[in-house]
Structure 1
């Protein structure tokens, strides 16, 4: 037994050591760059009132109920049904992870923070196993996967776009393409289909991919699978070979439909609601398309080339969220390599793999670029997917994978070089190669880090504690389960900021309370939202009278939404009508008038 263990350890120790190294690199770079020494897990890393607020609300829901598609403490005097907002049903993998953290910690802020921080480790781990599956050296896989795990794209998106930051299944999409490209046994429709274990693995991959990335990542995966299928068909002339990619596409689509089925059933029973999410107009695909220049445009000049970044961003057209497309040092090298690989011979396994990646790479560029295939799809088929720049994370991964393959080949050549007689000379060459590549990877992570990925710890803590104390005071001043009307009326979702009040600041009341019911949150286009809008437009005296009749316990005001004169008039009128001084939060952002 002992001998078996020793033999196993000698064979596998490098795998375990390289895996641990990757985890250490990811944690160490995060700790340093994100200044995690200032982090308090019970304070949200991001608390700006934008999309980040929707994430912590999901975590709050998971601490109180099973899932996040309904809420009986929002949309008062009604309840909220989120079935119109289909993105709520299209990133179930990330929500499942958040649910686990919420159940364990029973704290929304902690659950959100752990969900976010875990993304980088999960991305690295999956990438590592993908690279090991295609026989890349464990140390090369470790370093390359750490670079992917801390990609500029993911850090730029952070918690606000957590549904896109959760791109840890992108490596699985690429692996499916490689399997279909290289192997004849994956997803081949024959009598032995269910006898091959690899097919169950591939189908499980399609399930994971379909429940990640709010339609974008499944769509991009289907696209590259079709590219692979066409490539395989063209090279072999066999329809059966091309059909394997189609099978994968069908399975991804099947699981996507399955995930949004509750929403479709709800729409059949309650009527469709086109107003809920406005994606009208193909022109938005031009606005949010990929720009090739931005694949090479850093997010952070580190004081060296900030001037040039600013010149481009201030003068170039259509600079939007597509600035997150930067590939990083390693990604740029890989991208250039893959462009050259389009024109090289394919007479070895390495060259064939690079050819596969180069075909995927150029196809993805053509899909995502402004005026490209994505724009034509939006014009002729559907404009519901508008931000094709988000395919850049797929481009980044195939680019990193290309570099990993080249370094892996270099290591193989050094090991197999019979001209170098001395074993020590080989070891020194391998160590030097590893050190140079390791330093390149660390530099790539540091250089690509966007400054906005570092949380504003002090500001977040001050506002979070102020809001928490304020809402708790409201809750303690009245009866459990009381209804609170919120001003200003604000459409949900995606209405946009009003003065200094960001889109989802009105979630603060729900987030920090235990039993209170809040008027904000009804889906626009539904009757509940129309009721809220009607009440919000009433003269203040009639509003107070009506809300009392409806059983509301008070009016909550987000003062950031009002100009100073407007706020003075509003609060002055309420003081006069109610003969009551308001509660005011410590940061003076919020006030509350009790009936």
Structure 2
């Protein structure tokens, strides 16, 4: 992109009616002036966010937000900074290690910035906070560059860029959705789309003789490849929305300009986004080709309704608005609303005004005029794509449901609407004549910035408010308390392998009692040598072993984890029922087992009252128990040979993996999750030993509706599997297969179910039966 000048010809190459742009009405700024405006805008953005968060009073070595999804991002950031990759982490997911190939994260652009910051500071959490703060000036800079390319005057571009950087969306995402708050690539990703809307067809630049020849190496074609790569590297959601925008503007330009070259230009812009995205997913494809497809993030089409955009969200005031009446209005709307999974997205008064104006123009078009006409069409498309029951819902139903949170498209709508509002204001101020009008231009733009900033940032609630930042300080204090606890744990048992209770699946699991999904990640974040059982991807073999062990009776649970090599046990009592009877014979995860573990150790060594070495958290609810004395006593009791035999048995535990075609819900029957199977499901058996083993296995099949369901089995060579029919029965039907040879590695049993013709599945995954009580016995 280049700065416009007053003498440049119109950028339109076709028949767009383009009025005189604001930049063409203002004096041409010098390079020094432009540099000063860009630097000043970035600096002001940094000052505003620093003052708003009262940075001078914050602990920059502690994350601003230390809960929920922030604990999902932070381990990736630490792994990137320390090891240069997030795909594999040896200190999570013990005893097997964490491998994220089933849960691909492709935010490589953000990882690169974090890696660089990690080279500048040795503190992972400081780098994490610094990048969040930098997302404000980065967004202001990219926004201003694009607004200048769109021919706003320098001061108006600065105002629009700052308002865009401080969208309510930015504060709402905070560090909770860390990478989504780094939306500074969005303005750049819109440039190719807006260029096509203007008639700049990229691959077909206008030659001096008026012809349009195919030139893939023209500057206009090449820079779109860079933009596409950046867009694909900034996260799946923004890449998807950008591609949707490109597809729409290609069709729009075909209609407006009557040339197929518009579609070719749009395809050229989409291609690098798709190509780079596919390349980023190659490790996942290669891994799953070897180990089976594990759809742990399988979404339902109905989720597009739950996390959809709402027009009301865009035009209503931001949550916790500074004006009490407006804040109450937003709260009143939000009360008891269905399908309000992502309730943010307010554009503020400036962006909201632009939205209303563009939608009015879309409904009452007068003539084909830049920029109103294409922006009105584009914004209308984005609203229809993201809204409840809109085009996105149809896309999720008919194509794929992996993109579910269409409310996030508001960050694209926000840029276009703020641009439109500021364009109108800028042009109005520049077309006024007289000395008084010229004197009022800068105060008017400053007032627009101040009022817009006041409207978009709830500084009466938290920003600039010494009491409002209590949440950040509370998170820092909890972080430091955890740091002290885990430092003591590491001093007590350096290099230890630690089992975490309660068992919490990774990723995207519901809370276990009062323990949120990623709470166990804190141990990894705050230690340097310890390895933790938490973090292995769910439904893989290590996860299945951890789950199987965690739901054993306490004595069996301890035996299995110590022979498997665990040196310590971390127990978060918030993950257990408040009231339980430890005297009952219950699984280890059914109650707070701290006292029970001490009792089992005392019984083992036959010394009443003896306890294991323990580290207690300041909150009195989290504990670490050193299991090395227990392991030594147990080894002495059974003898080294028997101990090693048991260790080998655990290492060679046959893992059943419910992969493609299975859904695992959190419903538990007799401490066992119920697995639901589709018409075609894959049950994989992993034999980690280097020998063929003979096994018997059994399970219970059940169907929930009337009718005859036909089952057949295949996929394991050399075995003849019977076919049979099932009808509904209260306790299901048990099935057993005997004397099966299981070779080393992975063996897949393919289960096919043919339901009755009248059967209607209860969701898109075509679930038609349940499988439970799977038992594997080696002969």
Does TM, scored on the shorter chain, surpass 0.5? Answer: yes
Shift of 1:398: 0.6
Which residue pairs with 1:232 in the alignment? 253
Which residue pairs with 1:98 in the alignment? 114
Shift of 1:308: 2.6
> What are the Cα deviations for residues 229-281 of structure 1, in whole angstroms up to 9, with x where unaligned?
1111111211112321122122221111111111111111221101x2131x2
- What stretches of structure 2 of length at least 5 have no aligned partner? 1-27, 206-211, 583-590, 602-610, 628-779
1:170 matched to 2:186? The reply is yes
Shift of 1:344: 4.0
| Larger displacement relative to structure 2 (188-197 or 429-438) | 188-197
- What stretches of structure 1 of length at least 5 have no aligned partner? 1-8
Q: Report matched runs for 1:108-507 at 5 Å.
A: 108-188=124-204, 193-213=215-235, 215-274=236-295, 276-279=296-299, 281-297=300-316, 298-302=318-322, 303-321=324-342, 323-342=343-362, 343-346=364-367, 351-414=369-432, 417=433, 420=434, 424-446=435-457, 456-480=471-495, 482-507=496-521
CA distance in 2, matches of 1:16, 1:132: 12
> What are the Cα deviations for residues 271-309 of structure 1, in whole angstroms up to 9, with x where unaligned?
1101x2131x21111111111111123211333333332
Higher RCO (CA-CA < 8 Å; seq separation 6+): 1
Which residue pairs with 1:3 in the alignment? none
From the two aligned structures, give the one with the greater strand fraction: 2
**8 Å contact 2:96–2:542 — kept in the other structure?**
yes
Q: 1:406 to 1:145 in 2, by over 3 A?
A: same
CA distance in 1, matches of 2:127, 2:419: 32
Which residue pairs with 1:570 in the alignment? 593
1:586 matched to 2:618? The reply is yes
Shift of 1:432: 3.7
> What are the Cα deviations for residues 430-486 of structure 1, in whole angstroms up to 9, with x where unaligned?
234333333333333335998599572332222112211211111112243x21111
Shift of 1:194: 4.1
Q: Which runs of at least 4 in structure 1 moved beyond 6 Å after TM superposition?
A: none
Aligned residues: 569
Which residue pairs with 1:11 in the alignment? 30
Q: 1:479 to 1:393 in 2, by over 3 A?
A: closer
CA distance in 2, matches of 1:447, 1:569: 42
> What are the Cα deviations for residues 89-112 of structure 1, in whole angstroms up to 9, with x where unaligned?
x21111111111123212221121
Q: 1:569 to 1:436 in 2, by over 3 A?
A: closer
CA distance in 2, matches of 1:431, 1:272: 59
CA distance in 1, matches of 2:455, 2:31: 28
Which residue pairs with 1:57 in the alignment? 75
TM-score (norm 1): 0.91
Q: 1:547 to 1:395 in 2, by over 3 A?
A: same
Bigger Rg over Cα: 2
CA distance in 1, matches of 2:310, 2:439: 42
**SS across alignment from 1:301:** coil
Shift of 1:58: 1.6
**8 Å contact 2:301–2:401 — kept in the other structure?**
yes
CA distance in 2, matches of 1:52, 1:591: 23
**8 Å contact 2:169–2:411 — kept in the other structure?**
yes
> What are the Cα deviations for residues 409-450 of structure 1, in whole angstroms up to 9, with x where unaligned?
124313xx4xx3xxx435313234333333333333335998
CA distance in 1, matches of 2:408, 2:169: 9
**SS across alignment from 2:220:** helix
Q: 1:199 to 1:522 in 2, by over 3 A?
A: same
CA distance in 1, matches of 2:478, 2:621: 9
CA distance in 1, matches of 2:312, 2:91: 47
Q: 1:116 to 1:245 in 2, by over 3 A?
A: same
1:514 matched to 2:546? The reply is no
**8 Å contact 1:300–1:306 — kept in the other structure?**
yes
Q: Indicate the RMSD between aligned Cα atoms, in angstroms.
A: 2.2
1:543 matched to 2:569? The reply is no
CA distance in 1, matches of 2:203, 2:361: 27
Shift of 1:580: 2.0
CA distance in 1, matches of 2:470, 2:195: 40
CA distance in 2, matches of 1:305, 1:430: 29
Which residue pairs with 2:65 in the alignment? 46
CA distance in 2, matches of 1:232, 1:449: 45
From the two aligned structures, give the one with the greater helix fraction: 1
TM-score (norm 2): 0.70
Shift of 1:332: 0.5
Q: 1:545 to 1:432 in 2, by over 3 A?
A: closer
Q: 1:51 to 1:57 in 2, by over 3 A?
A: same
**SS across alignment from 1:315:** coil
CA distance in 2, matches of 1:105, 1:233: 51
Q: 1:491 to 1:569 in 2, by over 3 A?
A: closer
**8 Å contact 1:487–1:555 — kept in the other structure?**
yes
CA distance in 1, matches of 2:428, 2:408: 32
**SS across alignment from 1:186:** coil
Q: 1:354 to 1:208 in 2, by over 3 A?
A: same
Which residue pairs with 1:70 in the alignment? 88
Shift of 1:45: 0.8
> What are the Cα deviations for residues 508-563 of structure 1, in whole angstroms up to 9, with x where unaligned?
11111111111111101111100110111111111212222122111111122123
CA distance in 1, matches of 2:402, 2:431: 48
Shift of 1:389: 1.1
| Larger displacement relative to structure 2 (105-114 or 557-566) | 557-566
**8 Å contact 2:515–2:575 — kept in the other structure?**
yes
